[in-house]
Amino acid sequence: MPFVWLFLFSGFVILCLTTILWLVSLPLKNSSIADIFWGIGFIVVAWLVFSYGFGYLPRKQWMTALVTVWGLRLALHIGNRNWGKPEDFRYAKWREENGPRWWWISYFKVFLLQGFLMWVLSAPILAAQSSGYPAILTPLDLLGLLLWAVGLTIETIADLQLSLFKLNPVNTGKLLTTGLWKFSRHPNYFGESLVWWGVYFIAAAAGAWWMIFSPALMTWLLLRVSGVALLERTLSLKPGFEEYSRKTSPFFPWLPKQ
């Protein structure tokens, strides 16, 4: 099946999944489940393409495994973080602002939007899996794997450090400024961006150079929309943030300033 048809078909599948997820969120009165299933959606897309007999098999297997590991880790992390807790403050605020209209507004503002982003961002995954050329793993494939592995390791360690920090009641209202967080104010988001650049280079190895829009979009989202920019507004209210922000790089890990 040509890439275009696979891409369109995956878009239809994502539309169905996000619609079902939205319907589930209505009786729960909790739109946060969209975040938990973000990684799962990519896994579904990856296995959907893998089920077709096209493309260079080792690269298909490689990409499917990488997406599965990344998606499961993210889903487990967010699920564990949100389990038994109220709706995320972003969605709770929108629910309050929109009142009784939120039930249908949430479909467009949360679920369809995330579904659309998932569809666009998954393009290099599909390209890498569906291309039969070159029928050999190249240095670009290895570079992609290296970036993915480094990124996932950084993201996992940063998330674990933050989770353990928050478990201690003594740290309530405080900033985490040790570990990886000593070198970046958002090392988890930096790691996430590396994961997507790794995916891109594997797609580029299969000839999809033009799909650089996917990691560029993800990096922009992490920096300007749902990641750094959003959290900095909250973190700036905590004591010590001004000094922490002066010394610590906002995104790219670097030695702290004196």
Q: Where are the domains of the chain?
A: 1-132, 137-258
Q: Which two tokens stand for residue 250?
A: 């906002």
Torsion of CA 166, 84, 104, 120, to 10 degrees: 50
Exposed e or buried b for every residue in 184-203, given b needs 16+ CB within 10 A?
bbbbbbbbbbbbbbbbbbbb
Selected residue with higher pLDDT from 2 and 20: 20
Q: 101: helix, coil or strand?
A: helix
pLDDT tens-digit readout, 63-106: 999 999 999 999 999 999 998 889 998 899 999 999 999 999 99
pLDDT tens-digit readout, 226-255: 889 989 988 998 999 999 999 999 999 999
The distance of Cα 131 from the centroid of its chain, to the nearest Å, equals 24
- Residue 67's pLDDT is 98
- Percent of the chain beyond pLDDT 90? 86
Tell the burial category of 165 from Cβ atoms under 10 Å away from its Cβ (0-12, 13-18, 19+).
Answer: middle
Confidence band, pLDDT 50/70/90 cuts, at residue 163: very high
| Phi-psi label, residue 167: left if phi above 0, alpha if psi -120 to 50, beta otherwise | alpha
- Residue 107's pLDDT is 98
Tell me the average pLDDT across 136-142. Answer: 95
Tell me the average pLDDT across 168-195. Answer: 97
pLDDT surpassing 80 at residue 54? no
- Percent of the chain beyond pLDDT 70? 99
Q: Which two tokens stand for residue 103?
A: 């039930």
Exposed e or buried b for every residue in 83-100, given b needs 16+ CB within 10 A?
eeeebbeebeebbeeeee
Residues sharing a CB contact under 8 Å with residue 101, sequence separation 6 or more, in sequence order: none
Residue 200: C-alpha distances to residues 41, 116, 167, 194, 195 (Å) = 18, 18, 35, 10, 9
- Residue 53's pLDDT is 63
Residues sharing a CB contact under 8 Å with residue 217, sequence separation 6 or more, in sequence order: 117, 120, 121
- Residue 57's pLDDT is 87
Average confidence score pLDDT of the chain: 95
pLDDT tens-digit readout, 32-50: 999 999 999 999 999 999 9
pLDDT surpassing 80 at residue 151? yes
Tell me the average pLDDT across 95-120. Answer: 97
Which has the closest alpha carbon to 196: 179, 175, 218? 218
Confidence band, pLDDT 50/70/90 cuts, at residue 29: very high
- Residue 1's pLDDT is 61
Q: Which two tokens stand for residue 165?
A: 């920090």
Helical (H) or strand (E) element with 102: helix 102-106
pLDDT surpassing 70 at residue 214? yes
